[in-house]
Structure 1
Amino acid sequence: MAQTAEGHQQHPLGIYFWVWGLLFVLSAFSYAVDYFQLQGYLRWSLILLFMFLKAGFIVAVFMHMAWERLALIYAILLPPLCLLVFITLMAIEGDYTVLARLVAFGPAAEIIAPHH
C-alpha cells in the first residue's frame, strides 16, 4: 500500500475492480437461482450464501474493514452476531412452544396459534 503526502494509506484500484467483478458474478448466481426455479432449502441456502458473501466483500473492501485493527473488527461485528444467536434461540423456542401446544391440546391449538 502506498502512502500519500498526508500520510493516508492508498489501496490499489485493482482490488476494487476485482471485488466489483466478483460482486457482479455473485449477483448473477443469485439471479440464476430464480431463473432455474430452484425450490426449498436449496433455494434459500444459495440465496443466503450469496447474500452473506456479497455483504462480506462489501464490508471488507469497500468499507475498508479488511485493513482495520482486529479489536475494531470485533467491536463492530460481534454485537450483530450475538443478536443473530439470540434470534435463533428465540425461533427455536417459538417452534418448541407451537409443538408443545399441538401435543397438549391437539389440532384445536392450530386455531389458537396458527403456524405460518
Structure 2
Amino acid sequence: MSETTTRIHTQSGQHHPVRLYLVVWGLLFVLSAFSYLVDYLQIQGYPRWSLILLFMMLKAGLIVAIFMHMAWERLALVYAILLPPLLVLVFVALMVSESNYTIFTRHAFFGAAQ
C-alpha cells in the first residue's frame, strides 16, 4: 500500500475546524440573548410567542445540523430524523385550524347557557 492509502485508512471519523463550533456556540448565545430580550422588553401576545418559537427553532436547527452532524449526513437519514417531527407539526396545525369548528359545534348542539 502506498503512504497516501495508509494515511487515509488510519484516519477515523469526521473532524471539523474548531472555528465552526465556536461560531455555532456564538450564534446560540446570540439567539438565546434575543430570546431573553423578548422577556426583558415585555413583548406580549402573539409577537412574544412567535419570537420565542422562532428563536427556539433556530437554536434547535443549529444544534441538529452542526452538533449532531446532520449537515453532513445522507439525505435519507436527514429525512428519517427530521420529517416525522415536521409531520407532527403539520397535524398540530390541522388540529388548531379545526378547533373553531369544534367549539362552534359544541355550542350549537349542546347550547350555551341562556
* TM tier, smaller: 0.7 to 0.9
Which of the numbers 86, 93, 104 marks the counterpart of 1:99?
A: 104
What's the CA shift string for 1:47-93, capped at 9, x where partnerless? 00000000000000011111101111011111111111112222322
Separation (CA, whole Å) in 2 of partners of 1:35 and 1:77? 32
Number of residue pairs matched by the alignment: 107
Which residue does the alignment assign to 2:61? Answer: 56
TM-score, structure 2 as length reference: 0.83
Cα 1:66–1:106 change in 2 (3 A) is same
Larger RCO, structures 1/2 (Cα 8 Å, 6+ apart):
2
How far the C-alpha of 1:41 sits from its partner, in A, is 0.8
Structure 2 residues not aligned, in runs of 5+: 1-7
Larger radius of gyration: 2
Provide the aligned C-alpha RMSD in A.
2.0
Structure 1 residues not aligned, in runs of 5+: 110-116
Larger mean CA deviation between 63-72 and 87-96 belongs to: 87-96
TM-score, structure 1 as length reference: 0.82
Which residue does the alignment assign to 2:78? Answer: 73
Give me the identity figure in percent.
Answer: 66
Cα 1:61–1:27 change in 2 (3 A) is same
SS at match of 1:10: coil
